[in-house]
Structure 1
Amino acid sequence: MAVKIVAIADIHYKSGEIASGGRRRSAIADILLLRAAHRINRWIKPDVVILLGDLIDDSSHSGALEDLRHIKSITDLIKSPVIALPGNHDFDVDTFYSVFPYPGQIIDIKDTRFVVFFDPSEPRHNARRTEAGLRWMSSARAGHQGPIVSVQHVPLFPPGASDSPYAYTNAKDVWAIFEKCKYTLALSGHYHDGDNLLARKAGSAVIVPALCEHPFAFVELTIDGSTVQTRQHELAVPRDLGLIDYHVHTPFAYCQENMDMALSLALAQDFGLAGIAFTEHSGQLYFDSETFWSAAFMRAGIDTTSGAKNRMQDYLGQARHFCPPALLGLEIDCDYAGRPVVRSEDFQQLDIRLGSIHWLEELMKPEPDPTRAGDEMLARLDKFLPAGIDILAHPFRAFGRKRAEIPVDLVPRLVRLLRKYNVAAEINFHTQETTEEFVNCCIQEGVKLVFGSDSHNLYEVGEFQPHLELMERCGCTGNRLKEVLADFRVPVTSGNGESSETKIPAS
């Protein structure tokens, strides 16, 4: 019976001001863990998550205990069972397990047994398995015929098989018991570079790289009998792809959780992005929260007077402090008549203009007709897109939010409309999923694509793992990926060599 594991090592969280530079990104480690937690819940769904120690960076720090509690609050969001063990940077075992639940030293999940060790430290950040620990390691196999995993903080591997400078001072004795008792895997952390000995056929050991260091990795493992498969997940994207996040919200959004423009830019750099665009909801900048969420402005659009609350100049003024390097933009609402909910003088100040449909009148009826809803959407977009929209954000969200079926012919009809007006389509996985059908149709019709995280929380900035996997399934990697993505940072030059309005590069 296969068991799926996610192993996370060396989070090294330490609260304080977020500073750029340095390999160990302790001040953003909570954001990294939150990003990992959401990816684990939505996409991986393991049977167990194992935290391999060094959850905090400095147990002598005055706020260290609160730091550990903060990390615990994030792991509480993980829907799978969590096994946490302390590392040499954490508190002693008793203090550590006053915050985290004590897992016991033997945990059986499906047919796999996990044996947890709390080995004493040795000089130079090594460890030693005591005589009692060795006896426990031997006895843990008794009565169990399935896979068995040795779990510890300091790397355990066949002597001489890894470049890790950290190991067990009595590794020869430990590994002899490992082999005698037919352990399936040794799972460790501590060595920040990590080493997948299993993948390179150097031994039944995996040293998980540090989450706190670029590319911010963790490891997914599947144990099925004597077979162990591994996959490394990275929270950062490859820098050489030059990816841009065209959909990042700000503190001005009514629906944001912890957004900060300066931190969004810093995280974009950490996560390997080439750039970001701040694209706040136009309707939320012109109207109060109640008017926006009730869609009360959608009939008269920008001319609505009831509930008016104009914060646009405050947004533009604050965003300009970060633009460049960021692109200054809006996510412009499309009213029921197909008009952009934005004033012309504000529209002209933007580098990038996302357009979006959040409400379809047909879908708000007690018994909506999806076909009529699709016709309504296209009729509105036929007026909206030529008004200067660069990117259509989350094209089918209005259907997804209402759990309405997307009409069969809507995808090709929409793509033809995007091609007609030279508007790019956003790939967006925020509370929705973009389909292969839509991406392939865009590629076939020559419609450019962009990636958008639709970030409302800092952990979401540049979270493009599902985007990249989708594009890979559609045959777009490397240079081919770059060919199908739009780049709005490049201005089109007119015949006299002067820069003109930014447009989508030709297919």
Structure 2
Amino acid sequence: MSKELPRVDLHIHSIFSDGESTVADIARMVKVKKLDMAGLADHYSSGPGGERGRMGSNRLKRYLSEVQAASLLKGVEVDIYEDGDLSLDPSEKPLFDYVIAGVHKMAGIAFWGDPTPIPDPKGFVENMRVVIIEAMESKVIDVIAHLTWLPEDIRGMASSLITEDWVDSVVRTAASLGVAIEINGSWTVPDEQVVKKCLKEGVKLSMGSDAHRASDVGNIKYPLTLLSRLGAGLDDLYLPRKLQG
């Protein structure tokens, strides 16, 4: 029987990107929810203005200052583009305690709120695998976010499109490069089989609510339940720094 896992939420968004709550409101909720560790990971795009829903470099200094003042970890979530590049300049990595990366759009199709038909689902998912691996090979990122989440048109086909070979390829690359895989509390991905594979291959697992409002901070029931059921322990978790106490 594994010991009770710590309550960790490393994927929280604020008004600095597409969230609804201030850093101060989030910090208060972290205390209310009695989280053992929490970090902000606002969307970021290098450059002064930033892309839509993304914080730009013109707001980065203030973001880092507010997050540190709130005693939260300074994380960031960056986009994985179709060529495997990231929305983060590698020189900026040392500014953060950790870097999360995820695919949010491919072939002009957003992964949320976009019902555009995808004529070649297998090809789409294969391209997704390739860019995730290329992003990991950059050695800039620490965590892959919401792995196996797909756009609306093909989401119901995930069990057939996300094959065992697809999972093996991504997980083994993550293992070889020391990249963690996130278990996302909002979107309840990846599934148990993927997490089992991560545990088998020694891939660290990160917990995140993907909260966009303070009330959702600490929504980590799915990762906690799954990890506990699989007998995961503290050493299986991705933690940017040691737990206090």
- The offset of 1:425, in angstroms, is 0.5
> Are residues 1:261 and 2:23 paired?
yes
Counterpart position of 1:386: 137
Aligned partners of 1:363 and 1:402 also within 8 Å: no
Amino acid at match of 1:408: T
Inter-partner Cα distance in structure 1 for 2:109 and 2:58: 33
- Give, in angstroms, the shift of residue 442 of structure 1: 0.5
Which letter does structure 1 place at the counterpart of 2:235?
A: E
1:245 is matched with 9
- In the alignment, the residues of structure 2 paired with residue 485 and residue 411 of structure 1 have an alpha-carbon distance, to the nearest angstrom, of 19
Secondary structure of the structure 2 residue equivalent to 1:382: helix
Q: By how many angstroms is 1:401 displaced?
A: 7.0
For 2:153 and 2:203, locate their aligned partners in 1 and report how far apart those are by CA, in whole Å. Answer: 25
Task: Please name the residue that 2:113 is paired with.
Answer: none
How many pairs are equivalent? 228
Would you tell me which structure has more helix in proportion to its own residues? 2
Instruction: Please give the TM-score of this superposition, normalised by the length of structure 2.
Output: 0.81
Q: 1:367 to 1:434 in 2, by over 3 A?
A: closer
Matching residue within 94, 102, 119 for 1:368: 119
Residue aligning to 2:169: 413
Larger Rg belongs to? 1
Using the TM superposition, give the Cα deviation of residue 454 of structure 1 relative to its aligned residue in structure 2, in angstroms: 0.5
On the 8 A contact 1:362/1:369 being kept in 2, the answer is no
Paired with 2:200 and 2:23, the residues of 1 have a C-alpha distance of 36
Deviation at 1:487, TM superposition (A): 1.3
| Counterpart secondary structure, 2:68 | coil
Work out the CA distance in 1 between the residues paired with 2:100 and 2:172: 18
Q: Any idea what the Cα deviations from partners look like across 1:456-495, whole Å, max 9, x if unmatched?
A: 011111112222222233233xxx2x121121114xxxxx
Residues 423 and 310 of structure 1: CA distance in aligned 2, closer, same or farther (over 3 Å): closer
| 1:430 maps to 2:192 | no
Report the alpha carbon displacement of residue 402 of structure 1 after superposing the two structures with TM. 4.2
Work out whether residues 46 and 89 of structure 2, in 8 Å CA contact, stay in contact via their aligned partners in 1: no
The equivalent of 1:209 in structure 2 is: none
- Say yes or no: does 1:270 pair with 2:29: no
For the Cα contact (< 8 Å) 1:363–1:369, is it kept in 2?
Answer: no
The equivalent position to 1:485 in structure 2, one of 237, 241, 244, is 237
1:338 aligns with 2:101: no
* Deviation sequence 1:217-242 (CA, Å, 0-9, x none): xxxxxxxxxxxxxxxxxxxxxxx743
Q: Relative to structure 1, is the Cα distance of residues 473 and 343 closer, same or farther in structure 2, using a 3 angstrom cutoff?
A: same
> Superposition pairs for residues 30-429 of structure 1, below 5 Å?
241-254=5-18, 256=19, 258-283=20-45, 286-289=49-52, 311-323=56-68, 325-361=71-107, 366-387=117-138, 388-399=140-151, 402-403=154-155, 404-405=157-158, 406-409=161-164, 410-429=166-185
Matched, 1:440 2:196: yes
Q: Counterpart of 1:135?
A: none
Distance between the aligned counterparts of 2:149 and 2:73, measured in 1?
Answer: 24
SS of 1:447's equivalent in the other structure is coil
- Is 1:475 paired with 2:238? no
Q: Between the two proteins, what is the percent identity of the paired residues? A: 23
In the alignment, structure 1 segments of 5+ residues that lack a partner are 1-239, 293-308, 491-507
The structure with higher relative contact order (CA 8 Å, sep 6+) is: 2
Structure 1 residue 399 displacement after superposition: 4.7
Structure 2: 5+ residue stretches without partners: 111-115
Secondary structure, counterpart of 1:317 in structure 2 = helix
User: Partner amino acid for 1:251?
Assistant: I
In the alignment, is the contact (CA less than 8 A) between 2:45 and 2:56 conserved in 1?
no
RMSD: 2.7
Distance 1:354 1:468 in 2: 19
Letter in 2 for 1:282: Y
Code of the residue aligned with 1:343 in structure 2: it is D
Cα-to-partner distance string for 1:418-473 (whole Å, 9 max, x where unaligned): 11211000000323443111111100111010100001011111112222222233
